[in-house]
Chains A and B, each alone.
Chain A
């Protein structure tokens, strides 16, 4: 075992030979397949790991439940490390960190880390390193040299390092090009951590078994970095069952808080549990009796929730039951209660399962130190330095048009750095500030203020990326070995600060980005949001559960909802509808800006053709991203300069908003979220729909995954499952809705933002005011001083 901790390269050959292309056959977890009676053990690759001298890897029969003998529990003793797919460390320096929940048994168990990655061929191994640390202790520290295929290695995790609860995982890369010293070349550097080959194996068998409900937090991910709760609800089609099931989904979703989690609801079956998969059985004792191997004791008498090893559903099955549905509901509420958040504002948003640290929630003027935002002092010897941090704003953030945050930068660069270098700041991937370095001879920047436009901020967390592009004479010459030079050029100090101003706060309707960012307006305490879901279709229920869990994470509390409200009784409330297009309650579709005729015209086939239609969208996206970015050439034309500098376009001169045009999906788009004010203007209705039940569930699952969910915005967001393109339609007509107690300052900022977005209105206001003031002055002057 110790041997394997020696330089990875020694073991590479063997590893490649045994495990080479295993990742090409990942799990096929698609749940829409009809459940089979005898599900074979998932095609997991437990044996593919270098397990020759690892007895824990041997298939061990579970120690309880003879009927489950065929179902190995070992899968649960494996924890895939990555909480999200596509961990690609790109550029010269990169860092990912997140927190991983472990049960007490897992923490106590001896464990080994399996680590697999592949990297770009241009990376110079002698100058590049990849490090993985857990709880601050470096477990993996290797040159980056896996260009041919995924290289795997096993590392011991020192005893006592892991702790029950959350453990910090941190992967860092420092990468240099073999030959090229240009800025462009840094974009060619990447290492991809292989999710399927990177996991912790616990040798203690008990580590694979959950004992308490809280242990569900350790659900982890599948080898494809998904998390799935498989609900078995025999009474799913009963109206009384929906609310408790949805509440349980919200609660479990909030407990696990995995970035890429979804729910699947079935009446009878569940696929076998494993890493990233949990089975939850919920129903009255009477309903569960025929399904479970053994009913938990007391289920017929009182509300019961228990993690059991069931002979049919396997070990670590969560059973929530009671004598009747109200009792089941009590059991659910008892589970959820600890997750409830007091009404007070939260100080941070919870993102730690995929991104550390939790971004602070900013409601008003605040100065945030980089050190508190997870950015450490970093010295850098390459040419393109990058770091990022996140900060959250509330759902009623209304400063996109005028707002300006400030980065007070503490940094220094050496005399090697030539003028022409620059420091850029990106907000959610959009350029927001550029500071040219104009003086040679090195400089110490002490709290240099960099104004950062808030144009690209959105409710919820926002990723702010700081990039320093450093040009040097050495790089121009690019002598052999220059890329690997360790001479420090740039340092960023963690005393730098982000200054968030007081910003305008008022809710906008519709605003799907508030929904995705903070679950607004559905996240309010005890709101009992009517959720209309077609319970005859398990897919619709699954989608609703996935959505509510997602909303709960965004809101930071389980969504308080009521699925028993009839569509006609929604009235003036906030509401959500999850169903196939044909089942959307009457009138709701028109309210959210779509023709009722869509109920028949929007079918599975509408979108079958033409994935190519999205080329344009993609092109647009890229153009937006590249506009104004540094490495693009100077744009000479005045018009483009005007556009770039002032963002002036024909839209700017629009004074009167036209009526909101009806929305019709493009071909190929087969899932959508749409939002609009309700007819009385007292709430917001959100409709989630798709042409078919399968598309609804698939679309919801895709959109609920972390990176996609953040793109939900505007009044309609559509998803194309073929091209995976997400399209946002912005509203033309936005209603503003007060969220804060009246204050002049807030209103001043609201006016500033609204007028900034409506330039002509501002000009006109100024013209009118000038005329009034001029006239008043004229009249006043005629009464003052000497008369003519």
Chain B
């Protein structure tokens, strides 16, 4: 009752606000109001961007955005009888309204994200049986060994935990392939993995045919297993030891819970981060999703399954006959289906697995294409906004999650719109310079400030725009194709273990350069027109400024598609662990300073024997977290730095069996707290102004780098010399 009363009050206030913002007030009043609201938001920001003031600041922003939308709708559309202006003008309008709608949806989703839940580590009363599924298709044995070893080492009663390797690369269908080479490879894989699994005490499972891709693979395993809970780890997602302790107990709290999802934490940078060198300082792209959006969805009981690092209830999956496989994003689709049947989900904001993400720009785009196409399929076949059984907030949340992937359309339109005016003199946005100042500028500033309010610590200014732009170029065709042929796309496994030996342009870089040069031409056209057509210089300058913004983005993207050659492909995690290091025949005492999936860095005390050289074999001995026993891991020395009292050695693991993989897993995946620490170290809101300056500098530098790479690529092709770019310091 109280809630209903509150809702009525809120609705009334909302109505008053709507009345107020849709008053057809004068330009002068709009101008002053825009300034007043901006100043008010700045003051609120100074008082702190968290807590209760946040919603008030967002209400301010909403008012300005609504005013813009009202004005844009009522006063700026080109006349209908000028079709050459009206059609592109209306498209631009739709793109802007899409942005406004998405802003509204995100406001709803992240209006009040749930704070992280307290640890459940020591609160387990019952230990239900758990089946861990590690689906694989083509990942290599080493990677799988780490994951399986880490899964096996999770703290949980051993008799309640079964780990399954679900190999789709060794199916009967694959092994009997008509292509003999493929068939042999599959046969080999089948045998190797069977042995590896057996060594690690993991159950190997494969099936007859590769039907329904990942979903089919897991459904097959569901039939074979009988644990009460199902845990899914992607082949490269190795769990921390406390994964189950932190997640399982929730299922006893709520019998209708079907999912506990945890974030995906990545040890390596995505190609954008790698090429821009922001991995160490700036929050990763996915942190916005896992750090705040999933928490916001959780508030509305709408956090959804992300394919891995999650625990599901068997009885819930049984209701839908396992994982849904209509779309190529079976995870989200399954969640929609179960949410609509009254099951609920939950999200834990604590990295409990560590994984890899695609290393090259091309595979990054491949992965995003799958997500985008899958979400479009869900939109097409399940249509969450009208799906029966979903609550209103859940519908809105799923709308936000699926419609987000339409972003390539507005991005493309924003890119092309200024060119319509600059090149073809189309008047697609009828507003004077003054109106543009009073409405559009204040709207843009408020929009940036709202983004900063919503995601400040998780997403720096302009980074969303950059990510969207770099994806748009290739995602647009993908999204269009899935809209035209919703059943066509098939599941493609994203390659995550590629590495880039030498600096080069991405194989899909060409369109970015074309766009960049077109925008450059547009800048010259702007200058030319300002001088030759002074009577409309104001409009030309405004449109030219817009184009310049696009150019900055396009320039920064040149850096994104210029792949840096890098040796260490994965992130090193700082640890501090006592160890012994055997060089030659002597054991030296030391500390492991940091580790990665490939190697470790060890600080040794005392004199090391002479004659140690790169590639020498050595042994690393340390006490494991899992059982407290000592283990010895063979390593290969990669470099040696001598200090006064000590020497620092960088080494690469040389695991030769299951036992060694367990040691590697113990080194890296034992402690999830260190991942949280690392994430926190990158979080920090630089603020709108500083963030913008930083981005501008970044963009300038990346433009330069992109052009240098282009020059080298042209030269290489021209002379056909393989001038190595590996040494490039760029």
Contacts and interface: CB of A to CB of B under 8 A. Distances in A.
Interface stretch (A6-14, A71-79, A94-102, A763-771): A763-771
Contacts of A781: 55, 111-112
A784 B3 contact: yes
A775 B114 contact: no
B484 interface: no
B388 interface: no
B81 A446 contact: yes
Contacts of B40: 767, 770
A439 B425 contact: yes
A747 B21 CA distance: 15
Interface stretch (A141-149, A423-431, A644-652): A644-652
B79 A422 contact: no
Interface stretch (B7-15, B306-314, B468-476): B7-15
A141 B9 CA distance: 74
Contact of A438 (B57, B393, B533): B533
A783 to B, nearest CB: 5
Contacts of B111: 777, 781
Contacts of A404: 24
Nearest to B393: A785
A774 B59 CA distance: 5
B378 interface: no
B619 interface: no
B56 A786 contact: no
Contact of A646 (B10, B25, B27): B27
B6 to A, nearest CB: 5
B438 interface: yes
Interface in A741-786: 748-749, 751-752, 755-760, 762-767, 769-786
Interface residues of A, number: 55
Nearest to A634: B534
A402 interface: yes
A782 B32 CA distance: 34
Contacts of A769: 13, 16-17, 20, 59, 63
Given A767-B40, A769-B16, A769-B17, A785 B301 contact: yes
A436 interface: yes
A180 B427 CA distance: 35
Interface stretch (A447-455, A520-528, A671-679): A447-455
B414 interface: no
Contacts of B6: 776, 779-780, 783
A420 interface: yes
Contacts of A401: 26, 29
A788 interface: yes
Contacts, number: 167
B440 to A, nearest CB: 14
Contact of A645 (B9, B62, B433): B433
Nearest to A767: B40
B60 interface: yes
B298 interface: yes
A759 B28 CA distance: 7
A419 interface: yes
Contacts of B393: 784-785
Interface in B1-50: 2-3, 6-7, 9-10, 13-14, 16-17, 19-21, 23-29, 31-33, 36-37, 40
B380 interface: no
Interface centre among A404, A451, A648, A777 (most CB of B within 10 A): A777
B259 to A, nearest CB: 14
B160 interface: no
Interface residues of B, number: 59
A756 B37 contact: no
Nearest to A504: B24
B52 interface: yes
A361 B472 CA distance: 55
B29 A762 contact: yes
Contacts of B58: 774
B483 interface: no
A783 B9 CA distance: 13
B59 A777 contact: yes
B544 to A, nearest CB: 15
B75 interface: yes
A436 B36 CA distance: 32
Contacts of A762: 20, 23, 25, 29, 32-33
B533 A783 contact: no
Contacts of B60: 767, 770, 774
A770 B56 contact: yes
Contact of A448 (B36, B62, B79, B533): B79
B115 interface: yes
Interface in B154-211: none
Grouping DSSP codes into helix (H, G, I), strand (E, B) and loop, the A interface class, with mixed when no group exceeds half, is helix
Given A447-B79, A760-B32, A778-B52, A773 B301 contact: no
Contacts of A422: 535
A775 to B, nearest CB: 7
Nearest to B9: A776
A778 B59 CA distance: 10
Given A748-B19, A770-B60, A780-B7, A402 B26 contact: yes
A92 to B, nearest CB: 22
B713 to A, nearest CB: 41
B300 interface: yes
Contacts of A780: 3, 6-7, 10
B631 interface: no
Interface in A637-661: 645-648, 652-653
A238 to B, nearest CB: 54
A776 B434 contact: no
Contacts of B82: 446
Contacts of B640: none
Contacts of A449: 79
Contact of A767 (B16, B25, B37): B37
A87 B20 CA distance: 48
Contact of B20 (A653, A756, A765, A779): A765
B299 interface: yes
A383 to B, nearest CB: 16
A783 B437 CA distance: 40
Given A447-B81, A748-B19, A785-B393, A756 B59 contact: no
Interface in A413-463: 419-420, 422, 436, 438-439, 446-449, 451
A652 B28 contact: yes
A779 B434 CA distance: 39
Interface in A708-763: 748-749, 751-752, 755-760, 762-763
A648 B32 contact: yes
A209 B368 CA distance: 97
B536 interface: yes
B88 to A, nearest CB: 16
B115 A766 contact: no
A449 B3 CA distance: 48
B14 A773 contact: yes
B55 A648 contact: no
A633 B695 CA distance: 39
A770 B24 contact: no
B397 to A, nearest CB: 10
A749 B23 CA distance: 7
B434 A766 contact: no
B535 A773 contact: no
Interface in B62-89: 62-63, 75, 79, 81-82
21 contacts: A402-B23, A420-B534, A422-B535, A438-B425, A438-B536, A646-B32, A648-B31, A648-B32, A755-B23, A755-B25, A757-B26, A764-B36, A767-B37, A769-B59, A770-B37, A771-B56, A773-B10, A773-B13, A776-B6, A780-B6, A780-B10
Given A752-B25, A774-B55, 15 more contacts: A401-B29, A402-B25, A420-B535, A439-B425, A446-B81, A448-B79, A748-B19, A756-B25, A760-B32, A769-B16, A775-B55, A775-B56, A777-B55, A781-B111, A786-B299
Closest 9 CB pairs of A and B: A774-B56, A645-B434, A774-B59, A756-B26, A763-B36, A759-B29, A752-B23, A770-B59, A759-B32
